[in-house]
Amino acid sequence: MTSPQSRSGKRDEILAAATERFGRDGYEDTKWADIAADVGVGPTALYHYFESKQHCLYVIMDQAIEGFRSRFEALTTDGADPLERLVAVIDDCFELSEADIQRNRVLVAEQGLLSARSDSPREEQARQAARARTRDLEFAWASFLSHAMQQGAIPKHDPRLLTRAILGLYNSIWHWYRPNGIVALNRIAEFFTDRSLALMGVAPEALDRPRAAA
């Protein structure tokens, strides 16, 4: 009999393999059997862990959003200056492993699938979880930006619209960025951080931040 620890480890292995495949080759072009081969099991064995390829996708997306939300909360709950915390959050968005990058690519590329209901109870549960986390992340960002406005750290705007503008700008990176591409991630981080701060009405030079090397 498979132990709970072994089962959990194999599930994580499947998620990691699926994330790499979906991020590199695309969700539609990845076969369920490809993922099975990557983790050394038969295709039918995957159904012990996930009801379908789409169920696996929803779990990956849910994990990606949960990771953003957890890091955001950890960086914004202390008593530091709102602007310092905001910069820390933006910096953290680019402190990514290759697995993180592939997961972001999957999340952005397939986010539209979260709008379609599923007839499968397990798929629908995973889809609803990912949608709920998306709303929670947007609410957390908007609440934090509203507080920063009240503290005078950034100019006053509609915090919900500003949240969507910032997250939309960030998400746009993962439509085209590839790990080990011709543009280094630190250069991309500098470029998009400056534009994100500009959206919030903060001049990048006011922060006296070191610039990335070319």
Closest CA to 154 of 89, 87, 78: 87
| Greater pLDDT, 204 or 9 | 9
pLDDT exceeds 50 at position 43 = yes
pLDDT for 213? 47
The answer to whether 138 touches 163, Cβ cutoff 8 Å, is yes
Secondary structure (3-state) at 79: coil
| Residue range 95-106: mean pLDDT, rounded | 93
pLDDT category at 214 given cuts 50, 70, 90 is: very low
pLDDT for 1? 46
pLDDT exceeds 70 at position 210 = no
pLDDT category at 81 given cuts 50, 70, 90 is: confident
| Residue range 120-149: mean pLDDT, rounded | 94
Residues of the chain above pLDDT 70, percent: 91
| Residue range 126-155: mean pLDDT, rounded | 94
pLDDT for 77? 84
Query: Residue 116 and residue 51: Cα distance in Å, rounded?
Result: 17
Query: Residue 43 and residue 127: Cα distance in Å, rounded?
Result: 23
User: Which residue is listed with tokens 């997961």?
Assistant: 103
- State the pTM of this model: 0.87
| Residue range 133-146: mean pLDDT, rounded | 95
Lowest mean pLDDT among 52-66, 155-169, 191-205: 191-205
Closest CA to 132 of 60, 72, 62, 59: 62
DSSP 210: P
Residues in Cβ contact with 71 at an 8 Å cutoff, skipping those fewer than 6 apart: 89, 92
